[in-house]
Structure formats: C-alpha cells, structure tokens
C-alpha cells in the first residue's frame, strides 16, 4: 500500500481520493438500496440486514397495476423522446449554423419552459386540454412532458451540431447528396452520441414527472411515479427499495431497446 502511495504524486493522490469520495457519495447509495430490496425487515438499529429474500421483488411484480403502469410509462416516454427528436433536430441545426437577427431572443424563448414553473403551465393548460379532449389521455401527458424536456433536447442537439461543423455536409452536398441521404449517412451516425444523451435525458426527465402527469393525466394515465408515492408511505421497505431500483433500470432498458433500433436503421440505410 505504502509503495503505491509513494509511486503516486500528491496530485494523483488527491484526484484518486476525490474519485473515492465521488463514488462513496453518488454510487454507494444505489448499492445499499439494491441490498435493501433483497432484505427482510432491515430496521433501526441494525447496520446490516438480518435475512435476505426475494419477497420485495415478488410483491412488486405480483402487482397487476404496476405492470400496466410500466407499459404506460414506456409509452409516454417513447412518444416524448420521439417528439423531442423531431422538434429539436431542425431547430438545433439552424441555431448552430446560421446567425440572424433576434437569435438570442429566440434562444432565451426556447429555454423559457425550464425557467417558468412547469406546474403553473400545466394548471393553466388543464382546462383547455379538457376542452380539446387531450386531458386524461396519453397524448395530453406527452404534450406537457415537452415542457421540462424540449429545452434540454435543443441544447444537447445544438452542441452536437456545433461539434459536427458544416464542412462535411458541404462536401457531401458538392458530391451530389440530397438532404435525405446527407442526414442518414452523415449527420445521423456522427450525431449519434448527442442523440443518445438526448434520448436518455428526456426519457429520464419524463420518468420523473409526478405533478404534470397527475394534473393532465387526471388519475387516468397512471405512470410509475403516481404509484411510487403510495408505495413510499407503505410499511414494506424492501418493496420501496425495489421500486426505486426499477426507476434506474427502466431508462437502461429503454436505451438498450432504442440502441438496437438505431443500429438497424443505420445498417439498413447504409446498405441501400
């Protein structure tokens, strides 16, 4: 041990210490919750669980309303991500390439949904959504989920387009590639890292909405967060822990599925 410390400089030592602190603060809690989801009656003042079982997870997957709500959550998340992609790609491209009058005003306006209270906007929109038959529907919930997600989507794609630059696109254009071919063979593959972060972040934000979903969904669109609160007050702690882990697993599941889809699309396009 001392040998290792001597080899490392002071700077490296501080960095590795900081990494350990970071892991201890931000990663370790997840390990504890995972252990807790397999524990039986892990209560004060025990430092470690006295017994382990699968009961918590059995309870979770035995709840039929939960299965239904996982499907609803994935459906909402999928549409939110899709809409974000469709809206942010063209806007980000223009914002990264052109400069024009009033650009900074438009940028501020596009950022405004995360500066104005989302709960206020949802309450304001509720009555109109009822009139248009969007309330109590997945479609209405998807629309309000755009409020906290769209500004981030545009931001991420904009940074992606800025890194990509315009030179390659110009070259493809000179060589006779139309906008469709340019997008699928050039922009899409090169923007993939940004698209991945966009999908992950917008899905995660959509997954974390309670108030917006409750206000517009009206108790009819039951996503996972709406079930989490009643579970939180229940006494079975292993179930709450398992449920919490589920929230971290869903984005991974989603992103895994999307990754396969993306690869298939790119392969298909490149074959043509």
Partner 1 sequence: MNGQNGFLNNKKRVVFNLLPALAATLLLVGYGMWSAIAQSFQSVDGEWTMASYLELFNSLAFFHSLKLTFRVAILSTLLALVIGLVMTRMLYQFFRDSSSKVLVWIPILIPHFVAGYLVYLFFSQSGLFSSLFYQLGVLDHRAEFPVLVQEKFGIGMILTYVWKEVPFVILMLLPVYYEIDHRYSEVVRTLGGNKWDVFRSVELPWLLPVMVETGLILIAFIASAFEIPYLLGVTRPEMLSVRAYEWFYDGDWSKRPLAFSAMILPGVMALLLAIFCIGAVQKHRLRMIKGRNR
243 sits in which H/E element: helix 237-271
Q: Which is nearer to partner 1, 135 or 207 (CB)?
A: 207
Distances (CA, A) of 190 to 91, 164, 203, 242: 17, 7, 21, 37
d(CA 242, CA 42) in angstroms, rounded, equals 14
Closest to partner 1 by CB, 118 vs 262, is: 118
Of the pair 45, 64, the CB lying nearest partner 1 is at 45
| Residue (of 269, 241, 250, 193) closest to 70 by Cα position | 250
Nearer to partner 1, 3 or 44 (CB): 44
Sign of CA pseudo-dihedral 178, 180, 181, 184: positive
Q: What is the nearest approach in angstroms of partner 1 to the Cβ of residue 79?
A: 13
For partner 1, give the closer residue by CB, 69 or 88. Answer: 88
Query: In angstroms, what is the minimal distance from the CB of 64 to partner 1?
Result: 23
Which residue(s) pair with 39 in the sheet?
Answer: 52
**At its nearest, how many Å lie between partner 1 and the CB of residue 67?**
19
**In the complex with partner 1, which residue's Cβ is closer, 105 or 267?**
105
Kindly state the DSSP code that residue 199 receives in the 8-state scheme: H
How far apart are CB 182 and partner 1 at their closest, in Å? Answer: 8
Beta bridge partners of residue 52, listed in sequence order: 39
Q: Can you tell me the distance from the alpha carbon of 35 to that of 33, in angstroms, rounded to the nearest whole number?
A: 5
CB of 251 to partner 1, least distance (A): 5
Residue 137 CA to residue 34 CA, distance in Å, equals 34
Looking at beta carbons only, is 167 or 267 nearer to partner 1? 167
Q: How far apart are CA 215 and CA 127, in angstroms?
A: 10
* Distance between CA atoms of residues 114 and 116, nearest Å: 6
C-beta pairs of 29-34 under 8 Å, 24+ apart in sequence? 30/245, 30/248, 33/241, 33/244, 33/245, 34/241, 34/245
């Amino acid at each position: 041990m001392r040998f290792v410390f001597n080899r490392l400089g002071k700077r490296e030592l501080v960095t590795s210490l900081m990494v350990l602190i970071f892991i201890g603060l931000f990663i370790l809690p997840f390990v504890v919750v995972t252990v807790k989801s397999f524990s039986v009656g892990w209560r004060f003042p025990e430092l470690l669980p006295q017994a382990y079982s699968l009961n918590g997870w059995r309870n979770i997957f035995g709840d039929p309303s939960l299965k239904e709500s996982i499907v609803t959550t994935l459906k909402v998340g999928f549409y939110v991500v899709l809409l974000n992609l469709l809206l942010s790609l063209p806007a980000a491209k223009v914002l990264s390439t052109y400069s024009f009058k009033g650009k900074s005003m438009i940028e501020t306006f596009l950022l405004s949904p995360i500066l104005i209270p989302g709960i206020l906007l949802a309450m304001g929109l509720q009555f109109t959504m009822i009139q248009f038959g969007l309330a109590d529907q997945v479609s209405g919930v998807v629309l309000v989920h755009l409020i906290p997600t769209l500004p981030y989507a545009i931001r991420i794609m904009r940074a992606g387009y800025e890194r990509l630059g315009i030179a390659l696109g110009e070259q493809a254009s000179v060589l006779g590639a139309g906008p469709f071919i340019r997008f699928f063979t050039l922009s899409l593959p090169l923007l993939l890292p940004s698209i991945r972060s966009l999908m992950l972040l917008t899905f995660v934000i959509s997954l974390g909405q309670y108030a917006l979903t409750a206000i517009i969904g009206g108790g009819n669109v039951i996503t996972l967060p709406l079930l989490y609160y009643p579970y939180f007050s229940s006494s079975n702690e292993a179930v709450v822990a398992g449920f919490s882990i589920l929230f971290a697993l869903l984005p991974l599941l989603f992103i895994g599925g999307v990754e396969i889809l993306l690869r298939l699309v790119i392969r298909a396009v490149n074959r043509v």
